[in-house]
Copies of this chain bind each other. A is one copy, B any other.
C-alpha cells in the first residue's frame, strides 16, 4: 500500500485524484460537520465550491427537503440556513434533508475527488471508521488535506498522520510512505497527543476561537466520538452503509 498525501487542494486536483482511493480531511470543520450531519439523519451532502453554485443548485432541487449550509471566513453565508458548525446540524434540523454545502476549504477537496475511484470523509471524530475502511481494502490511497485558504493546515496534517500511524500498527499491512505521508506521521507523533490543545493552537483554530466558535473545537477534537463514514456516491456524499445498501438493493441491481 503506497500512501500519497497532499497538504493542499492545489496538489490534489481532479486529475491527481482520478481513479484513486481518497480520504478527504478537513478537521476544522467540514469533515466534522459532514460526519455529524449524516450521522444525525441527513439524506446526503452535495458539495459545491462557490456560493453561486450552491444557490443555483438548491433552486433547482425540490424546496423543503433541501438546505443550504456552509461558510466563508468561518461565518454563515447570507441566505443560508446552516453555517459550518457541527453543533447546528441536529437531527431536528437535518433529518431526511439534502444539504447543498459550500465551505472555504473542504468543498474544494470534495469536488476535486469527483472522479476518484472511491472517496471517504474523515476527521478525528470518525478516525477508526476511516482507518478500518483503508484496512479492509489494502490498496494505494491518497490522503487529501483541505488546508486553510490554500495553505498548509497543521490540524489536517496531524489527522492524516494519525490515520497513517494507526495503519502502521497493523503488522499485516505493507506500507510505502511518500515524503508527505512520512512528514504527516512525524507531525502526528509530535503534535497529536492532545488534539484539543492542538486545535486551540493552530492558525485556523485560533481564528475560530476569535469569532466565537470555541465550542466547535471540542466537537472536532473528540476522537472516535461518531461512528459514521461519509462516502462519495456519484456526486453526493452519503453514509457508507447507505451507499452500499443502495448498491445491493434489487432496484439498483436491475437498473
Contacts and interface: CB of A to CB of B under 8 A. Distances in A.
Interface of A: 4-8, 10-11, 148, 150-154, 157, 178-180, 182-183, 186-187, 189-191, 202-204
A11 to B, nearest CB: 6
A58 B151 CA distance: 36
A152 B187 contact: no
B191 A6 contact: no
A179 B150 contact: no
Given A11-B8, A152-B5, A190 B186 contact: yes
A56 to B, nearest CB: 28
21 contacts: A6-B151, A6-B152, A8-B10, A8-B11, A10-B11, A11-B151, A11-B152, A151-B178, A152-B178, A152-B179, A152-B180, A152-B183, A154-B182, A157-B183, A178-B203, A179-B202, A179-B203, A179-B204, A186-B190, A187-B187, A190-B190
Contacts of A191: 186
A156 B28 CA distance: 27
Residue of A178, A179, A202 ringed by the most chain B CB atoms within 10 A: A179
A207 B48 CA distance: 38
A183 B180 contact: no
Contacts of A10: 8, 10-11
A151 B203 CA distance: 22
Contacts of A187: 183, 186-187
Contact of A154 (B154, B183, B203): B183
A156 to B, nearest CB: 9
A148 B179 CA distance: 10
A152 B7 contact: yes
A99 to B, nearest CB: 29
**A-B pairs, 7 with minimum CB distance:** A10-B10, A152-B180, A154-B179, A186-B190, A179-B203, A152-B179, A179-B202
Contacts of A183: 152, 154, 157, 183, 187
A103 B48 CA distance: 37
Contacts of A179: 148, 151-154, 202-204
Contacts of A11: 8, 10, 150-152
Nearest to A150: B11
Contacts of A6: 151-152
Contacts of A202: 179
A42 to B, nearest CB: 30
